[in-house]
Amino acid sequence: MTRPIRIAIVGAGPAGIYAADALLKSDAAKDPGVSIDLFERMPAPFGLIRYGVAPDHPRIKGIVTALHQVLDKPQVRLFGNVDYPADVTLDDLHRFYDAAVFATGAIADRPLDIPGIHLDGSYGAADFVSWYDGHPDVPRTWPLDAEKVAVLGVGNVALDVARILAKTADELLPTEIPPNVHAGLQRNRAVEVHVFGRRGPAQAKFSPMELRELDHSPTIEVIVAPEDIEYDDGSIAERRGNKHADMVSATLENWAIRDVGTRPHRIHLHFFESPVEVLGADGRVVGLRTERTELDGTGNVRGTDRFTDWDVQAVYRAIGYLSDELPKLPFDPVSGTVPNEAGRVLAADGSHQAATYVTGWIKRGPVGLIGHTKGDANETVACLLADHSAGHLPGAAEPDPDAVPAHLRAQAVRFTTWEDWHRLDAHERALGTAEGRDRVKVVDREEMLRRSGA
């Protein structure tokens, strides 16, 4: 092959951009070269960084700087506001490209099958995150009339939800939050947030830094009950073998022995409490019932048949994300992943689906930090290039790069480009400058397209 290898990547979040970076750093980028197109259903790139990271975490949002450098490369093009499969199908991708890599991530909430979970006032954390991050496809308002709130889960998303609910709107005003989010948070009545974990401190999935940041707000008192600090042999082994688990446990221990302060909003971190029912009246949440658990010696827990009813008016489940099924690709609904072998998509008969690959959360499930997707990308790209070298890729029927925008225009798709993103970026930064902020995020999709010049 004398022309560059043509690769389509579906999803322009960290996973997709890391895959592009791996391709650019490969030997194939030198000879015969690579030509990469990223398709993103949002008008703007960066996926999870833009629509999944809390606005008061600028350190994590700083990852965009590195992602920008990849998208600036001349071998890379961005096609935003393009939906798979409505605007471009798998057959289209195989027609225009030698291989397609899916990096679509996970944006839905994993279900929790307990009584009352569907009551009014019971929410998925992913939906709340989408609202406060200004996702264009969710409602502009959010009900925030509950004074006492339960958050189910002990991962970073649970921390984010609890922190956003407990902070004042003015604390978040210096961030990039859109005006509708700030207005909504000004009406927030929450003063008491309870975070529940089924197991103990050593099994919590918090990142040490994110946990410590919970205590930095001048308006939030973080409270841990001393009786929730407990370890068995399995927990001790976990602490000894996992530095993060040890740091998290140490932080929680320190909070459990200190005096409770007078900051007006409180976040209670509860361990050994397993949610068994969301309590309701007249169709609305009026409480949460949990069963006390105890360690069994291995780091796991068992029920004790001791139950507590908690007075809360809203429940947020933050027990994990789930990827959407992708048409024309196999899907495991339990793990929320596309069955694959090192990134090669596996058909129902166990064979490799030709020229089709996955990376990121759609490949391994929504676990780990953003940086962990680099390893996924490197593995997937290595397999793709090995298949190319072995002659296992059938090759694009229409590899001309101009065929892609022509196809989208023929479909009347109003797509955005990398240059269009620069225009939207400049507009959001100008909005921020006027208010003494770095950026004010545009929420409305039509407005995003208009400001992009699409």
Q: Does 198 reside within a domain?
A: yes
Q: Does 430 reside within a domain?
A: no
pLDDT at 296: 98
Task: State which of 286, 321, 356 marks the end of a domain.
Answer: 321
pLDDT at 60: 74
**For residue 237, is pLDDT > 80?**
yes
Q: Mean pLDDT throughout 421-440?
A: 96
CB-based burial label for 33 (10 Å; 0-12, 13-18, 19+): middle
**For residue 366, is pLDDT > 90?**
no
Q: Mean pLDDT throughout 428-450?
A: 96
Q: Does 441 reside within a domain?
A: no
pLDDT at 202: 98
CATH of the domain at 80: 3.40.50.720
Task: State which of 321, 350, 371 marks the end of a domain.
Answer: 321
Q: 372 pLDDT band (50/70/90 cuts)? A: confident
Is the same domain home to 40 and 185?
Answer: no
pLDDT at 247: 98
CATH of the domain at 199: 3.50.50.60
**For residue 1, is pLDDT > 70?**
no
Non-local (6+) Cβ contacts of 432 within 8 A are 176, 438, 439, 440
Q: Mean pLDDT throughout 31-40?
A: 96
Is the same domain home to 227 and 251?
Answer: yes
Residues linked to residue 272 through DSSP beta bridges, in sequence order:
none
Is the same domain home to 313 and 180?
Answer: yes
Is the same domain home to 345 and 257?
Answer: no
Q: Does 432 reside within a domain?
A: no
Is the same domain home to 99 and 185?
Answer: no
**Residues 106, 323: contact at Cβ < 8 Å?**
yes
**Residues 317, 156: contact at Cβ < 8 Å?**
no
Q: Mean pLDDT throughout 162-185?
A: 96
Q: Mean pLDDT throughout 323-336?
A: 94
pLDDT tens profile 306-315? 999 999 999 9
Q: 31 pLDDT band (50/70/90 cuts)? A: confident
Q: Domain tally for the chain?
A: 2
**What's the pTM value of the predicted model, to 2 decimals?**
0.95
Q: How far apart are CA 318 and CA 258, in angstroms?
A: 27
Q: Mean pLDDT throughout 71-87?
A: 97
Is the same domain home to 313 and 339?
Answer: no
pLDDT at 158: 97
Is the same domain home to 25 and 11?
Answer: yes
**For residue 219, is pLDDT > 70?**
yes
**For residue 349, is pLDDT > 70?**
yes
Is the same domain home to 253 and 402?
Answer: no
Is the same domain home to 215 and 84?
Answer: no
Q: What one-character-per-residue DSSP string does 368-388 give?
A: S-GGGHHHHHHHHHHHHHHHH
**For residue 403, is pLDDT > 80?**
yes
Q: Does 444 reside within a domain?
A: no
**Pairing status of strand 5-10 against strand 34-40:** parallel
The answer to whether the bond into 85 is cis (omega within 30° of 0) is yes
**For residue 454, is pLDDT > 90?**
no
pLDDT tens profile 84-140? 999 999 999 999 999 999 999 988 999 999 999 999 999 999 999 999 999 999 999
pLDDT at 6: 98
**For residue 62, is pLDDT > 70?**
yes
Q: Mean pLDDT throughout 69-97?
A: 97
Task: State which of 275, 298, 321 marks the end of a domain.
Answer: 321
Q: Does 433 reside within a domain?
A: no
Q: Does 72 reside within a domain?
A: yes
Q: 392: domain range?
A: 5-107+323-415
Is the same domain home to 231 and 178?
Answer: yes
> What is the percentage of the chain residues whose pLDDT exceeds 90?
93
Q: Does 434 reside within a domain?
A: no
**For residue 238, is pLDDT > 70?**
yes
Q: 55 pLDDT band (50/70/90 cuts)? A: very high
**For residue 58, is pLDDT > 80?**
no
Is the same domain home to 278 and 175?
Answer: yes
Is the same domain home to 160 and 252?
Answer: yes
